[in-house]
Structure formats: C-alpha cells, structure tokens
Amino acid sequence: MTSEKVKGVGRPPQTDGSGKQIAKTHVTLLLPVNLKEFLRRQPKMNMSALFTRVVTSLYLGTICPKCYDDSGVHQTHVGTYCENCSNDYRSFFFIWNDCPNCKLQYNRNNMSHNIKDKIGCQTCLKEVKA
Ligand SMILES: [Zn+2]
Ligand SMILES: [Zn+2]
C-alpha cells in the first residue's frame, strides 16, 4: 500500500509532543484462549489500542503516555512531566500531585507557591491573602 492510497483515510497519525509521528511495529502475543475469546466478544475491541493503553497505564510515571519513552520523564513535587514532550512555553505534565497543605490537586492553574515557611498552591495563597 503506498502512502498516497492511505492519504486522507482513517484518523491522522499519532504524534509525540514535538509533532513527530509515533513509529509502530507488530508484536505477536500468546494469550489464554478464554481471554482472547472474551476480548473478541467486547464491542469495538481494538487489541492494539487496548494493549497500548494497558501497558501505558501500568507504567505511568515511568513512561510518558504521549511519546511512550522513559528518557525524558522527570518527577517534581508538583507532578511528573516529560521533557521530550515539553517546549519552552509549556511542560507536559501527565501526573499532577496534591498540594501537601490543602490536598487540592496541582494543575496548570493551581501551581506550587512558597507560602511563609511551607509549600502550598495558588488556592492556599488566596486564603493567606484573604
Ligand atoms: Zn513524552
Ligand atoms: Zn494548597
């Protein structure tokens, strides 16, 4: 099949954080027959998507769910991000930790702050200022 024939058909190719296409390869799996039959009975079952999702979930925090690589994964007190999928303007966080002070989850709008002698979040900061 030439690339011309598939152009415009199906969904756009999956890309990593830098826009590079995710290279894919075939694997052969040896599964219990009952498991295979169970999966076959599930509606809209896509074995490739399922396997990718399960393995990514299993290793989330170790590998990045966007580029499937572990080389750029870093943990900070705010959360876990992938350097390979980040740019100068935005870090690609895929796990957000909770603020140790108020237990609210950090996110792009609720980042870490030094408040007096402790670490808090934007929400904690508002309460201190109020
Ligand atoms: Zn990544
Ligand atoms: Zn907080």
Whether residue 28 is contained in a domain is answered as yes
Q: Residue 130 and residue 125: Cα distance in Å, rounded?
A: 9
Quick one: which ligand is closest to 65's CA?
1
At position 125, the amino acid (one-letter code) is: L
Closest ligand to C-alpha of residue 18 is 1
Measured CA to CA, the distance from residue 79 to residue 83 in angstroms comes to 13
For residue 9, how far is its CA from the centre of ligand 1 (angstroms)?
A: 26
pLDDT in tens, the chain (130 residues): 444 444 556 778 889 888 889 999 999 999 999 999 999 999 888 899 999 999 999 999 999 999 999 999 999 999 999 999 999 999 999 999 999 999 999 999 999 999 888 899 999 998 887 7
At residue 121, φ and ψ (nearest 5 deg) are -125, 180
Give me the residues paired with residue 110 across strands. 107
| pTM for this predicted structure | 0.78
Q: How many domains, in total, are found in the chain?
A: 1
Domain hosting residue 58, numbered range: 14-73
Q: How many beta carbons lie within 10 A of that of residue 121, not counting itself?
A: 25
Q: Could you list which residues have their CB under 5 Å from ion ligand 1?
A: 64, 66-67, 82, 84-85
Q: Decide if 9 is inside a domain.
A: no
Distance 126 CA to ligand 2 centre (A): 9
Does a structural domain hold residue 112?
A: no
From the CA of 120, how far away is ligand 2's center (Å)?
4
Examine residue 34 and state whether it is found in any structural domain, yes or no.
yes
Strand, coil or helix: 120:
strand
Distance CA 14, CA 20 (A): 8
Has residue 46 been placed in a domain?
A: yes
